[in-house]
Structure 1
Amino acid sequence: MKLSLEELKKAGAFTGRPVEKQISWKQGDAELSATIFVRPMGYHTATSDVLAMGGKVDGVAGRIAASICDEEGKPVFTPADITGEADPERGSLDGALTIALLVAIQEVNDLGKTSSSVPKTNSGANSSLTASADELLPKHASASASESPKSGPDSVSVSEA
């Protein structure tokens, strides 16, 4: 392929329009929801990641700021808005909302991907992950994959718009 804008368009090398998503999160006793737009990973995310590697911005805040935009693709947040540095009186973004935004970003960027990046053992469990979890859990605590997660102040929901 000869590198040109036309050839790159044909190859799908541009990220396209933002994807509309519905998110909901619990903040205190209130269940809140919002329509957001997520920019697929591309130039904005790459530059944010480079700044984060250089210690110039928080990596998670940079990823959210690079990904969450309006319908036209204009950023909604700066990394400083998310970390609270832009307005210390307002503070940082709520934790449950932060998780809801990250889940939406992940869903938009993993559309169509079907394989797991974690290789499985014959039993279906990754032994290095199991060993790490065993080391982190206190001896008296146990976790089961069959246990259902509790809903609480950090419960989050994301769906296609």
Structure 2
Amino acid sequence: MKLTLENLKEAGAFTGAPVEKEITWKQGETEYTATVYVRPLSYQAAVNDLRAIYGKTDGVAGRIAASICDEHGKQVFTAEDITDGPIVKGEDGKPMLGGDGLPQRTGGALDGNLTMALLQVIGEVNNPGKPKTSAS
């Protein structure tokens, strides 16, 4: 087979549509359930993995950011959202800047149980057939 875009499409070499999954996690005594969309591992995940090797991003945060998307495949997190919290926005909806000129963040990392639930569904989508474990 020649390596052409058409042959790659026919072989299924491009990631498909995001996979809808339901996650459940606990924060304190409260249990939450949410629907998430998981993009099968792709070029973007490989780029994030390489950035992590060279110390440019956190590996786990990069994997979650590359994998969790909306129903159309659009990324919903950045690695920084996961490690440092979301950007703080003003009443006008624009990011608030700190003294260093960078956007202010909430200063809190993603909850550990939620992180594990997201990693679990990323694994399920990319390693189908493996047994599930429960995230608490």
**TM-score scaled by length of structure 1:** 0.68
Paired residue for 1:150? none
Instruction: Determine which structure has greater relative contact order: mean sequence separation of CA pairs < 8 Å that are 6+ residues apart, divided by chain length.
Output: 1
Q: Secondary structure at the match of 1:45?
A: helix
Instruction: Give, in whole Å, the separation in 2 of the partners of 1:27 and 1:109.
Output: 26
Alpha-carbon distance, 1:156 to partner:
2.1
What does residue range 1-161 of structure 1 map to in structure 2 within 5 Å?
1-84=1-84, 87=87, 88-112=105-129, 156=135
One-letter code aligned to 1:102 = L
Instruction: Tell me the residue number matched to 1:142.
Output: none
- Of structures 1 and 2, the larger Rg is shown by 1
CA RMSD of aligned residues (A): 1.9
Inter-partner Cα distance in structure 2 for 1:6 and 1:31: 46
Seen in structure 2, the aligned counterparts of structure 1 residues 6 and 112 have a Cα distance that, compared at 3 Å, is: farther
**2:20 match: secondary structure:** strand
Aligned-pair CA distance for 1:86: 5.1
Q: Which amino acid aligns with 2:114?
A: L
User: Does the 8 A contact of 2:85 with 2:107 survive in 1?
Assistant: no
Matched with 2:91 is none
Change (3 A) 1:91 1:113: closer
1:136 aligned partner? none
One-letter code aligned to 2:30: A
The 2-side partners of 1:82 and 1:44 are apart by 17
Indicate the larger mover: 28-37 or 83-92. Answer: 83-92
TM-score normalized by structure 2?
0.80
The runs of 5 or more residues in structure 1 that have no matched partner are 115-154
Task: Give runs of ≥4 in structure 1 deviating > 6 Å.
Answer: none
Query: Secondary structure of the equivalent of 2:74?
Result: coil
Q: Could you tell me the percent identity over the aligned residues?
A: 62
Q: Match of 2:56, SS? A: coil
